[in-house]
Structure 1
């Protein structure tokens, strides 16, 4: 299969829409919808943490499964089916009141989002490589932020119209279906085949590779506490629906442009320093979200969260591949597992701390402290 000369932007746009549905909506729309669910259903922060962690367990398992060769040749159909499943699971969330059912649905949504993330990247990046347009990868990753921003607009419009959280999930399903139709048109081909896959050597657990994995796991723990509860923090400070929407909107907009903004520094100092610096910047934002008064604290926290989490994720993989260049897929699988374990533990710990303290301050400051520690491991892992 060949990639036509005029297709790179189309593939990058297809990746953008896929990431918007998979991550911005299918995965992260839970954050702005969560406060209304907690109010209407009487969910505690601990309950919310359980539901959130179920999604991240699904993502971890899905990412590991997607990393095997079973989808070779059927990447595009699997992405399409996963998009449809994500839409159906959003709709199903509107029909339940049960923590157990919510957890199962979010687990399955996590699996679907991981399939889309891994397999859509396989399609898009192969065509961008043939066209020598690696710069367009930033457009692909920008879909996460675009989806987050779009989800904030959806939830705000729903609230302004007098609708509740059930209608929010229905709206998420509708947006996901529209995204599905766009992806069917934009990603009309599967990945470019460059020959038979070669067997990669096993991962070597060098001290530096161990350090970058510790940093990556700590990053998963630290960022996800704020990414899950930041809108609940705004709700607890009586910020109002407009402030909740604004905080999540600026998070998404910052995320959409973050890869472009960090690219010059990444070229200059390399991925290890970017991971370390990104974690320090994120730690400052995480702490600000509870230490500074609203609206300044949550808005600054949202902006710095958006500016860093995608960049740290992508740069972390680059750092791991730099340490073990002969095993890129195995490195991605191992680091995804480290990251996934961290973000599974994060909401559970955050929700538990919020339950016993009555607010999110202790949980958020613990997240900020962990990010500072992780930055140290990332910096020390460089050669």
Structure 2
């Protein structure tokens, strides 16, 4: 059995992969959007479309991940994702050209699925195969750590640079991150041991449970995408908060960094569905605060709560997928991500349109908060189904 030191190296590889594939290749666009709106031909409407196209690429990646069961192939695609993430990030600075950006955002979205789905599936499989607890909180913390580091570095070191140079420096950072992400991610064995195949038995929930969870996760995608895509611009556009957007984005990362580890603990205490309900209810005020109270403290509190809650929801749902389908964790992970991704395709383009037409993101924030309230009702429904199933099990004993 591998040592705990080996386990930590594997988890660190996962963290580095998420910093590269999610924070840099995907979320850096949110951080750099204001400077691109200022220094390039990009406008709010096209800014929203580029985010939508990025999510289309991510959705395509989720489809691929959900359809592949061969671990060796997943490992190969994961490593190609690391390489493409660096190339698509640095490539954003090559020209002020909307069609170049379109192609690169689609491909970078495709690669981000390699970090969230392929890497998490590979790590979960490795943990369970070697007798470790199948919790991915440490791995998923890489998203929050990456967002926080990205925002702080961008504000302190990259802000004086032209938009092209900022993309180039982010690409260079990827060259450092790819080393542990590549070397310390163990390759799956060519032939899976028989005892491992017997150990990992799938335990899927009922069909109704999955259907309701899918719709609830779609609502979470709507709630997430507005703030995640436009938070920097939203804060910068508020009276008296000009220039505070980058720090708000950093606080999203600081809130997200410990989130998955804490939500793992909460889920063990009250169950995954109960933990999800709390996360949904926290995200509602985190979304709506910038529209209701226009102050620096409310904006920063909103950002921190948003980071803590949105990543908690993602972590809980993907962990549930791994627990229900341990032999093929990407099966449910991919389906849930498609639901989340569909919301991310629809959201940015619509919100970008309204922001351009009305000069405010408030309408988008109200839509996102409303989606989270509806999602909370669905989670309560899931809780009732879970309680009913539990009583049925007791009745059979």
Normalised TM-score (structure 1): 0.90
Separation in structure 2 between the aligned mates of residue 236 and residue 119 of structure 1, nearest angstrom: 37
Superposed counterparts of 1:349-368, under 5 Å: 349-368=350-369
Q: In angstroms, what is the RMSD of aligned CA positions?
A: 2.8
Aligned residue in 1 for 2:245: 244
Aligned residue in 2 for 1:57: 56
Superposed counterparts of 1:21-60, under 5 Å: 21-60=20-59
Aligned residue in 2 for 1:182: 180
SS at match of 2:141: helix
Superposed counterparts of 1:54-133, under 5 Å: 54-69=53-68, 72-133=71-132
Aligned residue in 1 for 2:167: 169
Separation in structure 2 between the aligned mates of residue 321 and residue 112 of structure 1, nearest angstrom: 21
Superposed counterparts of 1:224-239, under 5 Å: 224-237=225-238, 239=241
C-alpha contact 1:11 1:187 (8 A) present in aligned 2: yes
C-alpha contact 2:26 2:112 (8 A) present in aligned 1: yes
- The size of the alignment, in residue pairs, is 380
Separation in structure 2 between the aligned mates of residue 144 and residue 156 of structure 1, nearest angstrom: 18
- Of 248-257 and 183-192, deviating more is 183-192
SS at match of 1:363: helix
In the TM superposition, what is the alpha-carbon distance from 1:130 to its structure 2 partner? 3.7
Aligned residue in 2 for 1:134: 133
C-alpha contact 1:289 1:300 (8 A) present in aligned 2: no
C-alpha contact 1:127 1:191 (8 A) present in aligned 2: no
C-alpha contact 2:24 2:170 (8 A) present in aligned 1: yes
Separation in structure 2 between the aligned mates of residue 317 and residue 235 of structure 1, nearest angstrom: 33
Aligned residue in 1 for 2:267: 266
C-alpha contact 1:272 1:319 (8 A) present in aligned 2: no
Unmatched tracts of structure 1, length 5 or more: none
In the TM superposition, what is the alpha-carbon distance from 1:157 to its structure 2 partner? 2.6
Runs of 4+ in structure 1 displaced over 6 angstroms?
A: 320-327
1:289 aligns with 2:285: no
C-alpha contact 1:45 1:355 (8 A) present in aligned 2: yes
SS at match of 1:293: coil
In the TM superposition, what is the alpha-carbon distance from 1:334 to its structure 2 partner? 2.1
In the TM superposition, what is the alpha-carbon distance from 1:342 to its structure 2 partner? 0.9
In the TM superposition, what is the alpha-carbon distance from 1:297 to its structure 2 partner? 2.6
C-alpha contact 1:75 1:190 (8 A) present in aligned 2: no
Separation in structure 2 between the aligned mates of residue 226 and residue 69 of structure 1, nearest angstrom: 32
SS at match of 1:134: coil
Separation in structure 2 between the aligned mates of residue 362 and residue 72 of structure 1, nearest angstrom: 44
